[in-house]
Structure 1
Amino acid sequence: MYKPHFGLTEVPFGLTPNTQFYHPLVPHFEALQVLTTALASGEGFIKVTGEVGTGKTLICRKLLNELGDDYVLAYLPNPYLTPNEMRAAVASELNIDSHLDQQQLTAALNHRLIALSAEDKQVVLLIDEAQMLPHETLEALRLISNLETESKKLMQVVLFGQPELDVRLKQDNLRQLRQRITFSYQLRPLLANETASYVEHRLTVSGYRGAPLFAPKALKLLHQASGGIPRLINVLAHKCLMLSYGENVRHINVKLVKLAIKDTDSAIQPRNLRLPMMASILVIELILVIWWFGESVL
């Protein structure tokens, strides 16, 4: 709805992970470097963890897009599966008939992995939200990863998960799997200068041209309220653009950021934020009116 107002070709701060908006800031760049190095070396298990909204799924999709023809990829976005469901899902990703019984499925999976290895193809299984994997499925995953030739693993596994995954892997009954993880990386939130660069990059990719849209103090407050979490930055920046559009201005100051913060439960409320409750209600009403107007026009 506000795209024409700012001269944008698309919404810059959407919540869907979109690799078009990938920005090689230090934590994301380093995570990709760790992943590509580990995969090139043929290691079995690789782990990337980070708080909710730090960009794990974006990095996963970026990796999926960038690995070359030497890799055969299997991707499980929803890992809350039983061991049998997990084996069937992996088989389906590798173009194996997943309706076989478990003994046949295991044999077919082994045969497929060996055949791909003979073609000099490396199989990589990427699992998003890995903290949701049931214990029995984690163990089944470890057993599948045991398949190897004399020189390399037949399948590498990359786990993307929240910090709860690290907590689970510290359990004694998962020590065998924990010992298989040879490379790991923990995503951190963005620093203040990285937040400013992140916002500017997404606006540029979306077609914005002109003077800086966010005032320096507004960016500083945006960083503080988001804690440097990219998803929260997106939520707050999106509301700021809506408010700016609603006031018919093309500049975002501290006042607009404060209004966006007040309307966002997950934002860190700065100590000096003292907006009355009526202001928060007006923010909500303004956003709803703008949304309704945009929908009615369409």
Structure 2
Amino acid sequence: MYETHFGLQEAPFALTPNTRYFLRAPSHHDALELLLVALRQREGFIKITGEVGTGKTLLCRLLLNELEQEAYTAYIPNPHLTPDTLYEAVAEELGVDVTRCANTHQVLKALNERLIALAMEQRPVVLVIDEAQAMPEATIEALRLLTNLETESVRLLQVVLFGQPELDTLLRRESLRQLRQRITFAHRLAPLDRASVSHYLRHRLAQAGYNGGDLFAPAALRLMTRCSGGIPRLINILAHKSLLAAWGRGERQVGRRHVAMAARDTESARQPGLMARWL
């Protein structure tokens, strides 16, 4: 579409999570470092929360890539499961043949044996759950019971929860206080500030093959920050539409007018006052 016009090799602002485009902005860098340090210290529960579009799934995938050589990982992307289904899903992720198990007791027994075998291989096991705010309360309690599996000297399963702020609300329930007390480390992903938004745009453009001057004018960057609230997913949407607007007019740089047009066309974007003035 506009790639050739701007000297790009590929679309730089696709919404599909791609670890190659991960930017180590301060909050996201801190989250990744916390995860790696805590997991290497064999902590039990770790929680990462953030608003919709702040990059939790991308961070989750990056974590799985980082752990590939040092741990055995299980990944549950959609945890809206019953307790029994959760046990089966974790067992399958760890290579357990659940078709041989007649009931939940047998699934848990086989899962425990598998965890012990991995512990004997000196391989920590990390369960990563994305969109954890969608877990039913009964399933969260089942998850807590699952982490009771341990030997005298080592914890057999570590858990990382990624979720929206609703996860914090869910875990504040009195009935879930036992799990809440087990969360030893937690981090809240923050939106990008103006400097980070500028860095984010330049980083993604460079990854897509751009090697020219500033493609987004300073005024465009300021409005982009304001309209997106520093949320990476919204930045991607607005940047893509802004490039389309500039390309459609045959212009080589994205200006404030193009960002305003993109924001007006995006329901989830913040609409700055007097936007019509920019048009």
Common topology (TM > 0.5): yes
Give the Cα separation in 1 of the matches to 2:154 and 2:11: 44
In the alignment, the residues of structure 1 paired with residue 97 and residue 67 of structure 2 have an alpha-carbon distance, to the nearest angstrom, of 25
- C-alpha distance in 2 between matches for 1:262 and 1:275: 12
Measure the CA separation in 1 of the matches of 2:105 and 2:184. Answer: 30
* Alpha-carbon distance in structure 1 between the residues aligned to 2:209 and 2:67: 28
Alpha carbons of structure 1 residues 275 and 217: separation in structure 2 relative to 1, 3 Å: closer
Q: Deviations over 1:123-182 (max 9, x none)?
A: 000000000000110000000001112222100000000000001111100000000100
Alpha-carbon distance in structure 1 between the residues aligned to 2:65 and 2:9: 23
Match of 1:214 in 2: 216
Q: Does 1:269 align with 2:259?
A: no
Q: Following superposition of structure 1 onto structure 2, how do residues 156-175 of structure 1 map, counting pairs within 5 Å? A: 156-175=158-177
Q: 1:62 is matched with which residue?
A: 62
Q: How does 1:116-135 map to 2 (within 5 A)?
A: 116-135=118-137
Q: 2:97 is matched with which residue?
A: 97
Letter in 1 for 2:183: I
The amino acid across from 2:88 in the alignment is A
Whole-angstrom CA distance in 2 between matches of 1:18 and 1:122: 26
User: In the alignment, is the contact (CA less than 8 A) between 1:70 and 1:120 conserved in 2?
Assistant: no
CA–CA distance in 1 between the matches of 2:93 and 2:257? 50
Any residues of structure 2 matched to 1:252-263 within 5 Å, and which?
Answer: 252-263=254-265
- Provide runs of 4+ in structure 1 moved above 3 Å: none
Q: Give 1:247 deviation, angstroms.
A: 0.9
AA of the residue aligned to 2:169: V
State the distance in 2 between where 1:61 and 1:29 align. Answer: 14
What TM-score, normalized by structure 1, do the two folds share?
0.91
The amino acid that maps onto 2:127 is: L
What is the root-mean-square deviation of aligned Cα atoms in Å?
1.1
Alignment correspondent of 2:31: 31
Structure 1 residue 275, shift from structure 2 partner: 5.9
Aligned equivalent of 1:114: 116
| 2:241 equivalent to 1:243 | no
CA offsets 1:218-270 (integer angstroms, 9 cap, x no match) = 00100000000000000000001111111111111111111001101000011
Residues in 2 aligned to 1:41 and 1:58: alpha-carbon distance in whole angstroms: 23
Aligned counterparts, 1:71-82, within 5 A: 71-82=71-82
| Alignment correspondent of 2:198 | 196
2:145 maps to what in 1?
Answer: 143
Give the gaps of 5 or more residues in structure 2: none
Alignment partners' CA distance in 2, 1:30 and 1:235: 25
The offset of 1:98, in angstroms, is 2.2
Aligned letter for 1:269?
Q
Aligned AA (2:107): L
Separation in 1 of the partners of 2:42 and 2:9?
A: 41
> Are 1:153 and 2:155 matched, yes or no?
yes
| Cα separation, 2, equivalents of 1:252 and 1:2 | 12
Taking the aligned partners of 1:242 and 1:71, their CA distance within structure 2 comes to 43
| CA distance in 1: counterparts of 2:267 and 2:175, whole angstroms | 38
Question: 1: distance between equivalents of 2:220 and 2:60?
Answer: 31
Counterparts of 1:50 and 1:198, CA distance in 2: 18
Instruction: Name the % identity.
Output: 55
Give the TM-score normalised by the residue count of structure 2: 0.97
Give the Cα–Cα distance (whole angstroms) in 2 for the partners of residues 92 and 151 of structure 1.
25
Q: 2 CA distance for matches of 1:79 and 1:182?
A: 21
CA distance in 1, matches of 2:2, 2:181: 51
Note the C-alpha offset of 1:68: 4.2
Q: Displacement of 1:87 after TM fit?
A: 0.7
- Distance change >3 Å, CA 81–CA 275, structure 1 → 2: farther
